Chains A and B, each alone.
Chain A
Amino acid sequence: MSEYFKDREPSDLKGRAFFAAIIVAAAFFILLARFWYLQVKDSEYYGDLSKNNRIRSIKSPAPRGMIYDKNGIKIVENRPGFDLYLVPEDVKDWAKTKEQLKTLLDIPEETINDRLEQSEDRPPFQAVKLKEDLSWEDTVKIESFKFEMPGVILEVSPKRHYIYSDAFAHLIGYLGEISDRELKEFKDAQKYAPGDLTGKYGLEKSLENDLRGVDGAKEIEVDALGRKINIASRTASYPGSDLRLTIDIHAQIAAWDAMRDKAGAVVAIEPDTGKILAFVSAPAFDPNALAGGISKDMWRELTENPLNIFTNRPIQGLYPPASTFKPIHAAAALEEKVITAKTTIYSGPSFWFAGREYRDWKEEGHGTINVHRAIVESSDTFFYQVGLKMGVDKLAQYSRGFGFGQKTGIPLQNEKSGLVPSTQWKKAVYKTRWYDGETISVSVGQGYMLTTPLQLATAYAAIANGGKLYTPQIIEEIKTPAGKVTKSFTPMQRGSLNVSETTLNAVKEALMGVVHEHGGTAQSLGAGGLNIAGKTGTAQVSKLIKRTKNVKSITYRLRDHAWFAGYAPYDNPKIAVAVIVEHGGFGASAAAPVAHQVIKAYLKQTLENAVPKTAAEAVPKTAAEPVTKDKGKNEDGKPLQPAVPAEAVLTIKKEDTND
C-alpha cells in the first residue's frame, strides 16, 4: 500500500489550509450573527409580519337595533346578506382582478380606485369593502370565480330590512354609506370606517347612536393565495338598541294605503299624550332599495322627481291651513269676547271691504249665523268680519298658543316652523305696514299663514284633550337586545291653549257639528259610528281658477290642497288626525276619507282591544308591497304634476290676498 503515497506529504498545502479554516470560521460567525439578528433582535418585527401574512382582520358589523310599533309588531329587522371585500395586499394581478369585477358585477374601475384611496390609512391586510349586499346571483358569481381573483372575499353581515318598505319611509328613513364629511364630523368617528352604513334620514339618523351597535371583528387565517383556512379569533359584535315606537301599525298602514297614489301627508296623534300614531308622507321611496346598493340612475330619478319625494311633508311641507284654522280663530274670538257663542253675523256670498269684494266659497252665502254654524258650514264671510274686528295680532297670539309658527320638537331632521303673520312680522320682513285686507285672508287660514301637517295635528289634539299642547312623541322606549329598557319616554306638555273650558267646548261642539249636523261640510264621515269631529279645509293654490265639483277638470298643479283635521271619538278622543292631500281639490271629498280610514283602522282594534300576534295578520297584504308601476301617477293614470314648493305657495298666496 505504501507505494501508493508516492508523493511527499503535502505540507505546503496544509499550511494554506489554516487560512481556509479562518475563512470558514469567519463565514460561520457571520451566519450565526445574521440568524441571531433576525431571530432574536428583530424577531418581534418579523413575528408581526408573519401574522399579517396569514391573519386578515374583517369587521363583523353589529346588527342595528330593531324597530317595533307600539304593540311590539316588528317594522324593521335585519337579514343576512353578502358584502364584497378586497384585501389589496393579496391581489396578485390588478388588471385582471379589476376587469373581472367589472365583467362579473359591473363594478367600474374608478369605484375600486376610489375605495382604495379612501382607505389609504387602513392597517395592512385590512379588507376594503367594495360592494354592500350582493344579490344572490352576484354572490354565486363571485363564489365561483374567487380562486381566479385572490384578494377578493365575501363576508356575511346583517342587512337592514324595512318590512313595510315605503309605508314608513319618511319616519324611519334609510341607511347609506357614511360620507367623507360625516367621517370627519362624527364625534365618535373611530367607530366608523369608510364603507360603513349610517342613518341618513328619519329615525335611523336621529337615533343613530342608539340603533348602531358596537362592531366586532373576525380574524381569519388565510394562505398565500388568500384562501380562508380557518377563523383565528373573534370579537363578538354587540347589537344596537331596539326601538319601540308610539306608532300604531294599523293606523300607519291605513294612512299609507290611502295616500300611496297621492301627494300629501297624514299625521295621527294620541290626544292625551302627544304620541304619534301614524306619520305618512307621500310620495315615498323604498328604503330597502336605498341602503347601499342603489344605482346612480335610480338615485337621480328619486331626487329629481318633481314631487320632491325626499321632502318629509308632515314636518317640512308648509301649507296654508285654510278652513281648518277657523276653529282656532273662533276660539280666539270667543276668548277675547269679540263675539259670544250667541253673536250672529250676516254672512253673505261676499264681503266688501275697502272697495274690494271678498267672496265666500258658497256662492249663495250662509245667511245670518252664529259661530257654531259658521264652523259647521265653514263660512268665510263670517270669519272675515270677526277677524277684522279682532285684529291680526290677537289672532297671531292665539295661533302661537295653539302651537303654530314654532317647531313641535319632534326628533326628526329639518322640521319647519311654519308662519304666523303679525304686524310686527310684516314690518321686520317686508318693511311695510300691515293691511287690513291681509287680515281678512289670514282669518280664514290663507294669506301668509303657513302650517305643517304635524302642527295642525298637535293643535287639534290639544283641542281634543282639553287644552294641553304636547311635544309629539315617537319613541315609546329604547331597549337593549336583551330586553332591558334603557330609556323610556313620557309625554311632555309644552304649553296650553290658554282658552277657557267654555270656549273649548263651544269649538268642540262645532267640530262635532261639521260631521254630524245638517249642512256640515264633512257629513260623509258621520256614517260608521266612529263619532268623528273635525274640520275640512281647501287651501287655494291659485285664485284664478273656476272652482267646480269636477276637480279633475282642473290642471293638477292649480288644484286646491285638500285638508281634514279632526279627532274621534268626540266624547272621549283617542286619536287626532291631520290629513293634507296636495292638489286634492275639496277637503271634504279628498282628505276627509283618508282621515276616516285612519281613524277607523285605529279605533276598530282599540275598541276590540285585540292585538294581532303577527304583522302578517295585522296588515293587509297590499300594504307591504312597494309602490311600483303606479308611482308618479294619480288615479286617472295621468302623471302627477309637481307640487308647488313652499316658497311658491307663499308667493301665490300673496297675490291672492293682494287681489
Chain B
Amino acid sequence: MIDRRLLTHFDWMLFCVTAALCVVGLAAVYSAIYVKSPAIYKKEIYWLLIGLSLMLTAVFINYSLLERFAYVIYGASILSLVAVFAIGRSASGAKRWISLGFFTIQPSEFAKLALIVVLARYFSARNMPERGMGLKDLAIPALFLLVPFLMIAKQPDLGTGIILCMIFGSMALIVKIRFRVIAGLVVAFAVAAPFAWKALKAYQKARLMSFLDPAMDIRGTGYHIMQSKIAIGSGGMFGKGFTKGTQGKLMFLPEHHTDFIFSAFAEEWGAIGSLVVISLFLGLVLGGLSASNTSKDRFGFLLSFGITAMIFWHVTINMGMVSGLLPVVGVPLPLISYGGSFLITTMIAVGLLINIRMRRFMF
C-alpha cells in the first residue's frame, strides 16, 4: 500500500512545522503546570505519542478510504456524541467527556473531522450548479452540520459549535454559494440574532459583554481578557523567560494551560516568541492551502481545505480571543493547548494534509 514513490514527495515542511508546534506546546504546558501537577504533563506526553502514531497512520492510508467510509465515520461520530449524553462525564457545568478508563476523550473534537470528511464527500460527489448552490442544495449539508452542532451546543460547548459552523461556511463558500443566498442568510442572521441572544447561557452573555468593555469590571467578567492582555503585554519584546511567567503561575490568568496557554507562552517568550509561533501557524495553514491547491481530485481538495479551515479558525479565534480582539469562546490553540482529544484530532488532520500533498503527483 505504501508506494516508495510517495515517500519522495513526503512534505517535510508540513511535518517539521507540526513537530515544532508540538515542541512549543510541550514546553508551554510544562511551564504552565509542571510544578503544580506533573501527572498532567506526563499525560500530555502520552497523548503526543498516540497522536504521532495516528498521524503517521493518517499519512500512509489511502485517503480514498475516507471517502468510501465517510458516512460510516460521520455516523460513528454522531453515535459518540449520543454516548456523551448517556455516559458522559461532567466537569465545571459541561458534559463533554467520555471516560475510557485511563483516558478521557472528548467526542466533539473528533466530530469536527467527521464533519469535514462527510462534507468533502457530499460536495465532491455532486456536480454543483455553475452559478453556485442555492438553499435547496445547501439543505442536506446543513443537516450534516446541524445534527452535531445541536448536540454539542447542548453540552454546552459554544467554541466547538462555532468552529463547526466556520468549517461548514468555509467549505460551502469554496464550493460556491449563490450571492442571493449569502445575502439572504446575512439578513436572516441579523433578524435571528436577538433571539439567539436570549438562548445563550448567562456566562456566555457575560463573556460577550465583557469583550465589548473588558475594563468595565476587571474583577468580574472581563477578568479573563484583562489578565490575558496583561500576561501578553508584560512579556514585552523578549519575554520574562521560560518558566518565569508570573501571570499564569500565580493563577491570575485562568486556564493558562488550556485555552489561554498562548498568553502564558507570550508572557515568557515575548514578541519574538509570538512572532515565531504565529509564523509557524501561518506556515501550517499555507501548507494546508498548498495541499488543496495541488490536490488532484475534488474530495482531496475539499478534505484538505476543510482541515485547513479548521486549523485556521482555531488559530485565529484563539489568538484573537487571548489578545482581546474577539470575545472569549472556549476555542483551544491547535497542537499547543493542553487537551488530548483535540491534539490527536489535529495531528490526524495534519497527517491527512501530508497524505493529500504526498499524493499530488499520483494519477
B281 to chain A: which residues have CB within 8 Å?
Answer: 28
Give chain A interface residues in 156-200, CB to chain B under 8 Å.
none
**Is A361 an interface residue when CB atoms closer than 8 A count as contact?**
no
A46 to chain B: which residues have CB within 8 Å?
Answer: 229-230, 232-234
Looking at A29-37, A268-276, A416-424, A452-460, the stretch in contact with chain B turns out to be A29-37
Cβ contacts A11-37/B at 8 Å (1 or 0 each): 011101100110010011011101110
**Is A529 an interface residue when CB atoms closer than 8 A count as contact?**
no
Inter-chain CA distance A538–B199, complex, in Å, is 94
A51 to chain B: which residues have CB within 8 Å?
Answer: 234
Interface centre among B124, B232, B289 (most CB of A within 10 A): B232
Q: Decide: A223 and B296 in contact? CB cutoff 8 A.
A: no
A430 to chain B: which residues have CB within 8 Å?
Answer: none
Looking at A2-10, A64-72, A366-374, A549-557, the stretch in contact with chain B turns out to be A2-10
Chain A's nearest CB lies how many Å from the CB of B236? Answer: 4
Partner of A39, one of B271, B293, B309: B271
Known: A47-B236, A54-B252. A1 touches B305 (CB 8 A): no
Q: Decide: A225 and B271 in contact? CB cutoff 8 A.
A: no
B61 to chain A: which residues have CB within 8 Å?
Answer: none
Cβ contacts A393-416/B at 8 Å (1 or 0 each): 000000000000000000000000
**Is B19 an interface residue when CB atoms closer than 8 A count as contact?**
no
Inter-chain CA distance A9–B292, complex, in Å, is 11
B266 to chain A: which residues have CB within 8 Å?
Answer: 35, 39
Chain A's nearest CB lies how many Å from the CB of B262? Answer: 9
Q: Decide: A27 and B312 in contact? CB cutoff 8 A.
A: yes
**Is A92 an interface residue when CB atoms closer than 8 A count as contact?**
yes
**Is B200 an interface residue when CB atoms closer than 8 A count as contact?**
no
**Is A210 an interface residue when CB atoms closer than 8 A count as contact?**
no
Inter-chain CA distance A297–B59, complex, in Å, is 84
**Is B295 an interface residue when CB atoms closer than 8 A count as contact?**
yes
Partner of A49, one of B173, B234, B270: B234
Q: Decide: A10 and B312 in contact? CB cutoff 8 A.
A: no
**Is A53 an interface residue when CB atoms closer than 8 A count as contact?**
yes
Q: Decide: A42 and B233 in contact? CB cutoff 8 A.
A: yes
Q: Decide: A38 and B282 in contact? CB cutoff 8 A.
A: no
Closest to A44 in B: B236
Chain B's nearest CB lies how many Å from the CB of A36? Answer: 6
**Is A95 an interface residue when CB atoms closer than 8 A count as contact?**
no
**Is A224 an interface residue when CB atoms closer than 8 A count as contact?**
yes
**Is B138 an interface residue when CB atoms closer than 8 A count as contact?**
no
A229 to chain B: which residues have CB within 8 Å?
Answer: 250
Chain A's nearest CB lies how many Å from the CB of B324? Answer: 8
Partner of B274, one of A20, A39, A53: A39
**Is A221 an interface residue when CB atoms closer than 8 A count as contact?**
yes
Interface centre among B232, B234, B237, B312 (most CB of A within 10 A): B234
Q: Decide: B297 and A10 in contact? CB cutoff 8 A.
A: yes
Known: A24-B312, A28-B282. A17 touches B293 (CB 8 A): yes
Q: Decide: B319 and A31 in contact? CB cutoff 8 A.
A: yes
**Is B355 an interface residue when CB atoms closer than 8 A count as contact?**
no
Closest to B323 in A: A34
B219 to chain A: which residues have CB within 8 Å?
Answer: 89, 92
Partner of B316, one of A27, A35, A92, A225: A27
Q: Decide: A224 and B250 in contact? CB cutoff 8 A.
A: yes
Inter-chain CA distance A7–B124, complex, in Å, is 9
Q: Decide: A32 and B176 in contact? CB cutoff 8 A.
A: no
Chain A's nearest CB lies how many Å from the CB of B358? Answer: 13
**Is B7 an interface residue when CB atoms closer than 8 A count as contact?**
no
**Is B49 an interface residue when CB atoms closer than 8 A count as contact?**
no
Chain A's nearest CB lies how many Å from the CB of B146? Answer: 24
**Is A488 an interface residue when CB atoms closer than 8 A count as contact?**
no
Q: Decide: A9 and B296 in contact? CB cutoff 8 A.
A: yes
Q: Decide: B250 and A223 in contact? CB cutoff 8 A.
A: yes
Inter-chain CA distance A221–B363, complex, in Å, is 65
Q: Decide: B64 and A4 in contact? CB cutoff 8 A.
A: yes
A14 to chain B: which residues have CB within 8 Å?
Answer: 292-293, 301
**Is B45 an interface residue when CB atoms closer than 8 A count as contact?**
no
Inter-chain CA distance A434–B227, complex, in Å, is 84
Closest to B325 in A: A34
B207 to chain A: which residues have CB within 8 Å?
Answer: none
**Is B150 an interface residue when CB atoms closer than 8 A count as contact?**
no
Chain B's nearest CB lies how many Å from the CB of A469? Answer: 67
B247 to chain A: which residues have CB within 8 Å?
Answer: 50, 53
Q: Decide: B297 and A39 in contact? CB cutoff 8 A.
A: no
Closest to B312 in A: A24
**Is B118 an interface residue when CB atoms closer than 8 A count as contact?**
no
Q: Decide: B275 and A31 in contact? CB cutoff 8 A.
A: no
Chain A's nearest CB lies how many Å from the CB of B36? Answer: 11
Inter-chain CA distance A42–B64, complex, in Å, is 50
Inter-chain CA distance A6–B297, complex, in Å, is 8
Give chain B interface residues in 255-271, CB to chain A under 8 Å.
266-267, 270-271
Cβ contacts B314-351/A at 8 Å (1 or 0 each): 00100110010100000000000000000000000000
**Is A386 an interface residue when CB atoms closer than 8 A count as contact?**
no
A92 to chain B: which residues have CB within 8 Å?
Answer: 219
Closest to B239 in A: A39
Partner of B233, one of A24, A32, A45, A223: A45
Q: Decide: B233 and A39 in contact? CB cutoff 8 A.
A: yes
Q: Decide: A13 and B229 in contact? CB cutoff 8 A.
A: no
**Is A605 an interface residue when CB atoms closer than 8 A count as contact?**
no
**Is A43 an interface residue when CB atoms closer than 8 A count as contact?**
yes
Inter-chain CA distance A34–B263, complex, in Å, is 13
Inter-chain CA distance A483–B124, complex, in Å, is 94
Q: Decide: B301 and A38 in contact? CB cutoff 8 A.
A: no
Closest to B248 in A: A224
Chain A's nearest CB lies how many Å from the CB of B204? Answer: 22
Q: Decide: A223 and B298 in contact? CB cutoff 8 A.
A: no
Known: A39-B236, A47-B234. A31 touches B316 (CB 8 A): yes
**Is B25 an interface residue when CB atoms closer than 8 A count as contact?**
no
Inter-chain CA distance A352–B114, complex, in Å, is 129
**Is A607 an interface residue when CB atoms closer than 8 A count as contact?**
no
Q: Decide: B289 and A17 in contact? CB cutoff 8 A.
A: yes
Q: Decide: B271 and A35 in contact? CB cutoff 8 A.
A: yes
A34 to chain B: which residues have CB within 8 Å?
Answer: 319-320, 323, 325
Interface centre among A12, A16, A20 (most CB of B within 10 A): A20
**Is B246 an interface residue when CB atoms closer than 8 A count as contact?**
yes
B252 to chain A: which residues have CB within 8 Å?
Answer: 53-54, 223-224
Inter-chain CA distance A386–B96, complex, in Å, is 112
Inter-chain CA distance A225–B250, complex, in Å, is 9
Cβ contacts B264-308/A at 8 Å (1 or 0 each): 001100110011001001100110010011011110011001001
Inter-chain CA distance A47–B271, complex, in Å, is 13
Inter-chain CA distance A21–B231, complex, in Å, is 31
Cβ contacts B166-195/A at 8 Å (1 or 0 each): 000010011110000000000000000000
A47 to chain B: which residues have CB within 8 Å?
Answer: 233-234, 236
Inter-chain CA distance A89–B217, complex, in Å, is 11
**Is A40 an interface residue when CB atoms closer than 8 A count as contact?**
yes
Could you list 25 A-B pairs, sorted by A, with CB under 8 Å? A2-B363, A6-B297, A7-B298, A10-B295, A13-B174, A14-B293, A17-B289, A17-B293, A17-B305, A28-B278, A31-B316, A34-B323, A35-B271, A35-B319, A39-B232, A39-B237, A39-B274, A40-B271, A47-B233, A47-B236, A49-B234, A50-B234, A53-B246, A53-B250, A223-B250
Q: Which 8 A-B pairs have the closest CB atoms?
A: A46-B233, A50-B234, A224-B251, A43-B236, A39-B271, A223-B250, A35-B274, A10-B298
**Additional A-B contacts beyond A10-B297, A13-B301 (15; CB < 8 A):** A1-B362, A4-B62, A6-B297, A13-B302, A20-B289, A24-B286, A24-B312, A28-B281, A28-B285, A31-B278, A35-B319, A43-B233, A43-B235, A54-B252, A221-B246
On A, residues with C-beta under 8 Å from B are: 1-2, 4-7, 9-10, 12-14, 16-17, 20-21, 24, 27-28, 30-32, 34-36, 38-40, 42-43, 45-47, 49-51, 53-54, 89, 92, 221-225, 229
On B, residues with C-beta under 8 Å from A are: 62, 64, 124, 170, 173-176, 219, 227, 229-237, 246-247, 250-252, 266-267, 270-271, 274-275, 278, 281-282, 285-286, 289, 292-293, 295-298, 301-302, 305, 308-309, 312, 316, 319-320, 323, 325, 362-363
